[in-house]
Chains A and B, each alone.
Chain A
Amino acid sequence: MLKILKYSFFDLIRSRWSIIYFLFYFVSGMVLLYLSNDVSKAIVSLMNITFILTPLIGTIFGVMNFYNSREFVELLLAQPIPRKRIFLGMYLGIGLSLSLSLFLGMALPFVFYGIFGSSAIGSLATLLLTGIFLTFIFTGISFYIALVNENRLKGFGMAILVWLFLSFVYDGLFLLLLLLLQEYPIENLAIGMSLLNPIDLSRILIMLRLDVSALMGYTGAVFHRFFGNGTGMLISLLALSVWTIVPVWFILKKSHKKDF
């Protein structure tokens, strides 16, 4: 697995897409920082970009990489190693290379600007952590979709739909549900629904750092109590981990039975 991971990682990190991805974050971060001159504001703006782009790029790379290395996978499958090592290695290779681009692209501008000692370092760390989680989660989901669908167009379309659903449609339905059920105590429902979407979950973890004042008001305090204390944090991280592990489990299960 480590061997496959190593080469898959080296292959991807040298691709110009990785570099473009890195540069995108790097330039955005630089521009936002030096235009706003405010670390917190730059983090808020970057957050908006990250929660859309990271899942999208994870999705696209997961699908594309799988379909593009179809023939090479066959060569690997004919080698004396178990299947799961190949797929795990490839998946981790994509996840890691994307995460590295994301991490360096996002962190370096703040390092140059001077983040250490600033109170915003916690927000940045949370953003980086959730960004990496989202990268792995969406790479995993799309990798699985590609594994199931021989038809590239279908696989690609499906993966994009999943992305669109989780980053956009879900919140619309969420809001609709809250509006419909407003007569009832719905705090727990709201907490439950946000645990079921990794993007919402990541957003809330950041919100707890950036919008504490607002969260202390009204019913927000309930959410702050849940997500803000140790147990809530733990549950959130656990939920993100489950979101990461489940697609991998499906990948391994499917890869065991699949014909190539």
Chain B
Amino acid sequence: MTFTIKQIFLSLLFLYGYQAYPATIEVSKSGQNSIQKAIDQANPHDTIVVLAGTYREHDILIEKPLNIRGVGRPVIDAGHAGQIIVVGSDSVAISGFQIQNVGFSFTKDWAAILIDNKNYCRIEDNILVDAYYGIYLKKSNHIVIRGNRLEGKAENEINSGNGIHLWYCDSILIENNHIKGHRDGIYFEFVENSTIVRNTSEANVRYGLHFMFSNNDDYIGNTFKNNGTGVAVMFSEHINMINNHFIDNWGTTNYGLLFKEISDGELSGNLFKNNTVGIFADGTNRMKISKNEFVENGWAMNVFSNCMNNEIVDNNFISNTFDLITNSAKHHNHYHHNYWDQYSGYDLDKDGIGDVPHRPVKLFSYLIGKVPESIILLRSFFIDIINMAEKVAPVLTPESLMDEQPRMKIITDD
């Protein structure tokens, strides 16, 4: 018996259709009205379409690969009773929902969407309102979180959770989300090889973005605005920070960007504007800080003396109250080819580089470090004169800390 090609083809087609041509299950207020039941009935790889309406459910468990899609922005309201969606399978996609009112617990990190130890999921185009934790990933890899809006109601650090929370994850993409009103907007702990692009994280009580023990991650083109601190990078290596905006992070211990015990990353093309402190660096080594723009900050950079071998090059320092402050007369970093608008030197050979070095640390910023109240004398004529004297003959400020090739003109992109 011989099979023609046609026969084989037809029988394959038949088999395929028979096996599991993905079905679509509809959930609506008028028909099947429980999302959990629909999930339970569905076969793997089915699509569940949820129509508009409010579904009062919580602890929805998904244990097979499904595509769950909201049409007309259905609302899942947990009424603060607990967590809302728990993803217990690989390859789950959740999109188009408004998920709200996660319960609060001191002992459990309840989230709007939890993915526990699973891979290849997509969370897209959802609105999360009043979630304790928003999207929570544990030991999960290859996840995409894209185009979601998170609106938390955090008031203080103790009673609030993070917007997008990752713990032991790898290869995650976080793109185009808008996170507001959580403790940390985005939180990374032991997260590797992940990318955060074009998100906006604002008005979070602690950090807009927070790295802990995470290596080899990138964040690009994000905006961090009006958070306690814009971004905190702690105990991490090889983090690349490109083209982000750090704006309006005001307050006593608030910074645009906080570095603590980090190394070997790149910080370039970022804008720091209107922050109390642009960058606060503690135990930071071998970073390349280049082509950033520091505008109208109280202090553009506060670099502790335990920071070593960082290269600060080609940055613009414009209209900051203070450009640089440090806590010791020693320093081990390399500053060159920056533009400092407070530079008062000259360029006789017209090569665009000032002929005398610039000392960006003022005596007065040292004094403020010792006696913070003395800030009330800022811009006083007396202070101008002692600054000038210190500049000529440094006693208290680091003598060797200078930009030997200060630029005469603002650096533009091209």
* Whether chain A touches chain B in the assembled complex (some CB pair under 8 Å): yes
Interface residues of A (CB under 8 A from B): 38, 40-41, 44, 47-48, 51-52, 167-169, 171-172, 174-175, 178-179, 182, 186-187, 190-191, 194, 200, 203-204, 206-207, 210-221, 223
- Majority secondary structure, A binding face: helix
With A214-B297, A221-B251 given, name 16 new contacts (CB 8 A): A44-B379, A47-B379, A172-B382, A175-B367, A178-B371, A206-B379, A207-B379, A211-B321, A212-B250, A213-B250, A214-B298, A214-B321, A218-B252, A218-B372, A220-B298, A220-B372
12 A-B pairs with C-beta separation under 8 A: A48-B381, A167-B381, A172-B382, A210-B321, A210-B379, A211-B298, A214-B299, A214-B375, A215-B375, A216-B254, A219-B372, A219-B373
> In the assembly, what is the distance between CA of A203 and CA of B381, in Å?
10
Q: Which residues of A contact B1 (CB under 8 A)?
A: none
Task: Confirm or deny: B4 has a beta carbon within 8 angstroms of a beta carbon on chain A.
Answer: no
> In the assembly, what is the distance between CA of A52 and CA of B382, in Å?
11
> In the assembly, what is the distance between CA of A186 and CA of B375, in Å?
12
A63 to chain B: closest CB distance in Å? 21
Task: Confirm or deny: B368 has a beta carbon within 8 angstroms of a beta carbon on chain A.
Answer: yes
**Cβ–Cβ contact B275 & A213, under 8 A:** yes
> In the assembly, what is the distance between CA of A178 and CA of B368, in Å?
11
Q: Which residues of A contact B380 (CB under 8 A)?
A: 171, 200, 203
Most chain A CB atoms below 10 A, which of B274, B297, B321, B375 = B375
**Cβ–Cβ contact A214 & B372, under 8 A:** no
**Cβ–Cβ contact A213 & B321, under 8 A:** yes
**Cβ–Cβ contact A218 & B375, under 8 A:** yes
Most chain B CB atoms below 10 A, which of A38, A203, A216, A217 = A217
Most chain A CB atoms below 10 A, which of B254, B276, B373 = B373
Q: Which of B374, B379, B381, B384 contacts A175 (CB 8 A)?
A: B374
**Cβ–Cβ contact A171 & B368, under 8 A:** no
The answer to whether residues A211 and B371 also contact, given A41-B319, A216-B276, A217-B277 and a CB cut-off of 8 A, is: no
**Cβ–Cβ contact A178 & B373, under 8 A:** yes
**Cβ–Cβ contact A187 & B373, under 8 A:** yes
Task: Confirm or deny: B322 has a beta carbon within 8 angstroms of a beta carbon on chain A.
Answer: yes
* B363-412 at interface with A (beta carbon < 8 Å): 367-368, 370-385
**Cβ–Cβ contact A216 & B298, under 8 A:** yes
B411 to chain A: closest CB distance in Å? 16
Q: Which of B297, B372, B376 contacts A213 (CB 8 A)?
A: B297
B325 to chain A: closest CB distance in Å? 11
A181 to chain B: closest CB distance in Å? 9
The answer to whether residues A203 and B252 also contact, given A213-B276, A215-B298, A220-B372 and a CB cut-off of 8 A, is: no
Q: Which residues of B contact A200 (CB under 8 A)?
A: 376-377, 380
Q: Which residues of A contact B276 (CB under 8 A)?
A: 213-214, 216-217
**Cβ–Cβ contact B251 & A174, under 8 A:** no
> In the assembly, what is the distance between CA of A107 and CA of B385, in Å?
27
B203 to chain A: closest CB distance in Å? 16
A226 to chain B: closest CB distance in Å? 10
Task: Confirm or deny: B189 has a beta carbon within 8 angstroms of a beta carbon on chain A.
Answer: no
Closest to B371 in A: A182
> In the assembly, what is the distance between CA of A200 and CA of B254, in Å?
27
* B302-347 at interface with A (beta carbon < 8 Å): 319-322, 341
> In the assembly, what is the distance between CA of A24 and CA of B350, in Å?
30
* B227-251 at interface with A (beta carbon < 8 Å): 250-251
Q: Which residues of A contact B252 (CB under 8 A)?
A: 216-218, 221
A73 to chain B: closest CB distance in Å? 34
Most chain B CB atoms below 10 A, which of A41, A187, A212 = A212
> In the assembly, what is the distance between CA of A115 and CA of B27, in Å?
60
Q: Which of A40, A174, A191, A214 contacts B377 (CB 8 A)?
A: A174
Q: Which residues of A contact B371 (CB under 8 A)?
A: 178-179, 182
Closest to A186 in B: B373
Most chain A CB atoms below 10 A, which of B275, B368, B377 = B377
Q: Which residues of B contact A214 (CB under 8 A)?
A: 276, 297-299, 321-322, 375, 378
Closest to B378 in A: A207
> In the assembly, what is the distance between CA of A210 and CA of B274, in Å?
11
Q: Which of A174, A186, A204, A217 contacts B298 (CB 8 A)?
A: A217
Q: Which residues of B contact A223 (CB under 8 A)?
A: 375-376
Task: Confirm or deny: B296 has a beta carbon within 8 angstroms of a beta carbon on chain A.
Answer: yes
**Cβ–Cβ contact A48 & B251, under 8 A:** no
**Cβ–Cβ contact B379 & A216, under 8 A:** no
> In the assembly, what is the distance between CA of A218 and CA of B341, in Å?
24
Q: Which residues of A contact B381 (CB under 8 A)?
A: 48, 51-52, 167-168, 171
B121 to chain A: closest CB distance in Å? 41
Q: Which residues of A contact B379 (CB under 8 A)?
A: 44, 47-48, 203, 206-207, 210-211
Closest to A193 in B: B376
Q: Which of A47, A168, A207 contacts B382 (CB 8 A)?
A: A168
> In the assembly, what is the distance between CA of A169 and CA of B321, in Å?
23
Q: Which residues of B contact A179 (CB under 8 A)?
A: 367, 370-371, 374
The 9 closest A-B pairs by CB, nearest first: A214-B298, A171-B382, A214-B321, A213-B298, A217-B276, A219-B372, A216-B250, A218-B372, A171-B380
> In the assembly, what is the distance between CA of A44 and CA of B299, in Å?
17
**Cβ–Cβ contact A190 & B373, under 8 A:** yes
A214 to chain B: closest CB distance in Å? 3
The answer to whether residues A38 and B298 also contact, given A203-B379, A219-B375 and a CB cut-off of 8 A, is: no
Q: Which residues of A contact B275 (CB under 8 A)?
A: 213
> In the assembly, what is the distance between CA of A143 and CA of B382, in Å?
26
Q: Which residues of B contact A191 (CB under 8 A)?
A: 376
Closest to A47 in B: B379
Closest to A40 in B: B319
